[in-house]
């Protein structure tokens, strides 16, 4: 019933020509992955136009890593949701912990970005997750609940259905440390329960919740086997087509 999604966040990596090679490789190998798994590549802005053209008519979708919280105007250096829409981009990551940490993005700003992205028919991949000190203090559920409540709960029922959530414990991102499959399942079930209390069980059951944080071919199978884990948001391992495809084949 829920969409399985494996999305590769390339972050600020690859030159455009390298990105084209990587995207071509992912497309060429995508046939190895079960058809019920959606594959998404999420390159830097500079590559989007060419990669959208390349992926058109294939089973690989394309996403962006961020968008502005304003429609248009004097916001030097920003990229709007409508610009992404006009290129044919389908997904947009919003609230990645690196954006929260280095660019000070707040839950309130993220709500604005999500609304604008939805207005432009983009599908937000909303990232949430706790830092190490928050987990060690036993505050991880509280932190994630606040992120979800402040950035998602103002949305109405039809909007929430177009959101993908990525649970990404910050202590597991790019560190080689992965949450155990049990820790991932526990948090995913917690998030789904929050959604069920707010929007009803039927709606909560349709929302894909991805795991992110040092996901690799060797651990993806166990994590993806959990009932509330609907796929992965993959950072480092998505820069190697064989690894990205191997992760997607873990379902």
Residues identified as active-site? 96, 168
Query: x-or-dash pattern for ligand PEP, window 112-151, by CB under 6 A?
Result: ----------------------------------------
| 220 counts as binding ligand PEP under rule CB under 6 A | no
Q: Output the smallest distance, CB 202 to ligand PEP, in A.
A: 29
Pairwise CA distance, residues 161 & 64, whole Å: 19
Q: What is the largest CA-CA distance in the chain?
A: 48
Binding span for ligand PEP by CB under 6 A among 15-23, 28-36, 77-85, 213-221: 213-221
Question: In sequence order, what are the residues at sequence separation of 6 or more whose Cβ sits closer than 8 angstroms to the Cβ of residue 178?
Answer: 172, 213, 214, 215, 216, 219, 223
| 248 counts as binding ligand PEP under rule CB under 6 A | no
Q: Output the smallest distance, CB 189 to ligand PEP, in A.
A: 20
Q: Output the smallest distance, CB 155 to ligand PEP, in A.
A: 22
User: H-type helices in 56-156, by residue range?
Assistant: 81-87, 97-102, 107-119, 132-136, 140-151
Q: Output the smallest distance, CB 73 to ligand PEP, in A.
A: 29
| 235 counts as binding ligand PEP under rule CB under 6 A | yes
Beta carbons within 10 angstroms of residue 242's beta carbon: 13
Give me 150's structure tokens: 């402040």
Of 4, 13, 5, 33, the C-alpha closest to 239 is: 13
Identify the residue among 204, 215, 220, 247 touching ligand PEP (CB under 6 A): 215
Residue 213, by phi and psi: left (phi above 0), alpha (psi -120 to 50) or beta? left
| 174 counts as binding ligand PEP under rule CB under 6 A | yes
Q: SS3 for 181?
A: helix
| 63 counts as binding ligand PEP under rule CB under 6 A | no
Q: Output the smallest distance, CB 71 to ligand PEP, in A.
A: 27
Query: x-or-dash pattern for ligand PEP, window 3-32, by CB under 6 A?
Result: ------x-----------------------
| 207 counts as binding ligand PEP under rule CB under 6 A | no
CB-based closest residue to ligand PEP:
235
| 152 counts as binding ligand PEP under rule CB under 6 A | no
The residue among 168 and 230 lying less far from ligand PEP, judged by its C-beta, is: 168
Of 232, 238, 141, the C-alpha closest to 183 is: 141
> Are 197 and 152 within 8 A, CB to CB?
no
**Mutual angle of helices 48-55 and 16-29, in 10-degree steps:** 20
List contacts with ligand PEP (CB under 6 A).
9, 168, 173-174, 212-215, 233-237
């Amino acid at each position: 019933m829920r969409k399985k999604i494996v999305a590769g966040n390339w972050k600020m990596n690859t030159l455009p020509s390298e990105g084209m090679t990587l995207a071509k490789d992912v497309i060429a190998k995508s046939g190895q992955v079960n058809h019920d798994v959606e594959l998404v590549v999420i390159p830097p802005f500079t590559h989007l136009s060419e990669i959208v053209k390349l992926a058109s008519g294939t089973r690989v979708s394309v996403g962006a890593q961020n968008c502005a919280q304003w429609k248009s105007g004097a916001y030097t250096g920003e990229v709007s949701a409508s610009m992404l829409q006009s290129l044919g981009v389908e997904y947009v990551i919003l609230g990645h912990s690196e954006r929260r940490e280095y660019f000070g993005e707040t839950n309130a700003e993220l709500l604005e970005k999500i609304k604008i992205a939805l207005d432009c028919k983009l599908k937000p991949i909303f990232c949430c997750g706790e830092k190490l000190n928050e987990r060690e203090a036993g505050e991880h559920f509280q932190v994630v609940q606040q992120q979800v409540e402040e950035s998602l709960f103002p949305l109405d029922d039809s909007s929430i259905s177009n959101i993908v959530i990525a649970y990404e414990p910050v202590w597991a991102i790019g560190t080689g440390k992965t949450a155990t499959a049990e820790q991932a399942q526990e948090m995913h079930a917690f998030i789904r329960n929050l959604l069920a209390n707010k929007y009803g069980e039927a709606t909560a059951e349709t929302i894909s919740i991805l795991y992110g944080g040092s996901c690799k071919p060797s651990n993806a199978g166990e994590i993806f086997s959990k009932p509330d884990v609907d796929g992965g948001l993959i950072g480092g391992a998505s820069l190697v087509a064989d690894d990205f495809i191997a992760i997607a084949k873990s379902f």
